[in-house]
Amino acid sequence: MNITRRTACQTLLAASLAAQQPRPLRKPNLVVILADDLGYGDIACFGGTEVSTPEIDSLTASGTKFTDGYVSCAVCSPSRASLLTGRYQQRFGHEFNPHSEKWEAEAGFGLSPKEKILPQYLKAFGYKSGIVGKWHLGSQPGFHPLDRGFHEFYGFLGGANDYATLETGDARGLRGEEGDEIPQVRRHPILRGKQEVREPRYLTDAFMEESCAFIDRYRQQPFFLFLALNAVHNPLHATERYWNRFAGVKNERRRILAAMAAAMDDATGAVLRKIRECGLERDTPVVFLSDNGSPLMNGAGSNGVFNGAKCTYYEGGIRIPFLAAWPGRIPAGKVYRHPVTSRDILPTFLAAAGASAPADVRFDGVDLLPFLNGARTQPPHDVLHWRAGKGRAARMGKWKLVECGDRHSKLYDLSADPGETRDLSAEFPAVHQQLRQAWNGWNSRMMPPRWPARQRKIAINGEQLVWDL
């Protein structure tokens, strides 16, 4: 064999051996898609009958659906604080929403700088982190996302924003409780980093495109993308192309919300396609959830069979659509029925990234991966607790305690009565007392709120109750 042929054979052999070598391990990319005020009945895969969400629904086939997924609070800001820290927000006093922008500036509202959040943990492991969408965890110096470990931010700092302006052109919508006009400018400026930018796009579309661009930029290295949509939070704004999909929905407000949910679904689908196009599907766990239940008072949303709404600690306020997919690591087509919470996302993502939990931080969430793949068969949590001023709740197995003030204390069997319509506290006083004692023990380890609450009156089972938020 001459030298040329020998060299060619050696090259082919080397290439063949290289192809047989195991694929080099890379840290997984991490993606959270967080909807805003999305109720259990607002997407198809959790029972919504007037909405169409095929992209979100696809996660039930490629991943796991959590029937009993919870958030830590029934309003936006504390819920997000808990998700990003993996801790009960009462551990650091982030119990309520801010009152107003003026009050926020004067009170120094924001997620405590003493608390580390997910991108700060990930930075030490080579991750690039980006948030697209709504922040709502402080706007003063030191509280901005870029001050909290995120490398990129595109979105707004406040709690709600206009999806469309007169500049958008094809906007159709109602302003919910605030009137019917499409505004000329958005109530909160859109920022790229800390710089205000002009944004003429329908906001959900803009956040979709910015998220896909982020994935493109960092496809060669591990990244964390937090797509924190403001859909379907008020105001009710939809564009004509989504509005026209739902001509059969006669209630105009419900029709607009269905159109907003469809835009959110398209944004989710675009992110999933971009991950696939980049060849990253098997390297990327994706979690989809809402930050709390539907408010219902806008006449648009639905919490399905559940009682209560946003601001309350009945199931309608805190049990939310929750899905997770990661081919090869999270079972496909599985329905998981033990309670899980948004606090579990941070420990799960740290474990997925091979990052050890810091010894000096107590997480209240757990790594869900061993529970999903069968390595652990018991429920992830013995008991879950909630507190927002006078609003209190605890869940232990099938039992749920709900309290609002000192006179309203109810016990429900969620396995038989998920709508929480039949109070069993008189029939099972020992269970009622056990849950109250468990809650009192937990509460004794939490700190008082760092700022005062607002209040809202909401009817539950015909009874007007005042909830703190």
Domains of the chain and any CATH numbers: 30-372 (3.40.720.10), 384-468 (3.30.1120.10)
Instruction: Tell me which residue of 291, 412, 240, 358 sits closest to 42, measured CA to CA.
Output: 291
Global pTM reads 0.93
pLDDT at position 295: 96
pLDDT tens readout for residues 307-319? 999 999 999 999 9
Q: Give backbone dihedrals phi and psi of 192, rounded to 5 degrees, phi first.
A: -110, 110
Residue 173 has pLDDT above 90, yes or no: no
Mean pLDDT (the chain) is: 92
pLDDT tens readout for residues 74-115? 999 999 999 999 999 999 999 999 876 666 666 678 999 999
Residue 444 has pLDDT above 70, yes or no: yes
Instruction: Identify the band that residue 169 occupies on the pLDDT scale cut at 50, 70 and 90.
Output: confident
Residues designated catalytic: 76, 136
d(CA 258, CA 172): 13
Q: SS3 of 128, please?
A: strand
Q: Give backbone dihedrals phi and psi of 460, rounded to 5 degrees, phi first.
A: -125, 120
- Cis status, amide bond into 232, omega within 30 of 0: yes
What angle in degrees, to the nearest 10, is found between the helix axes of 252-277 and 54-62? 50
Averaged pLDDT for residues 170-181: 66
Averaged pLDDT for residues 3-23: 44
- DSSP-derived secondary structure for 369-412: HHHHTTS--S-S-S-EEEEETTEEEEEETTEEEEEETTTEEEEE
Q: Is 365 exposed, middle or buried (0-12, 13-18, 19+ CB in 10 A)?
A: buried
- Most distant CA pair in the chain, distance: 95
Q: Which two tokens stand for residue 178?
A: 């605030």
What is the identity of the amino acid at 465? Answer: L
* Torsional sign, CA 334, 335, 340, 342: positive
pLDDT tens readout for residues 216-240? 999 999 999 999 999 999 999 999 9
Instruction: Identify the band that residue 26 occupies on the pLDDT scale cut at 50, 70 and 90.
Output: confident
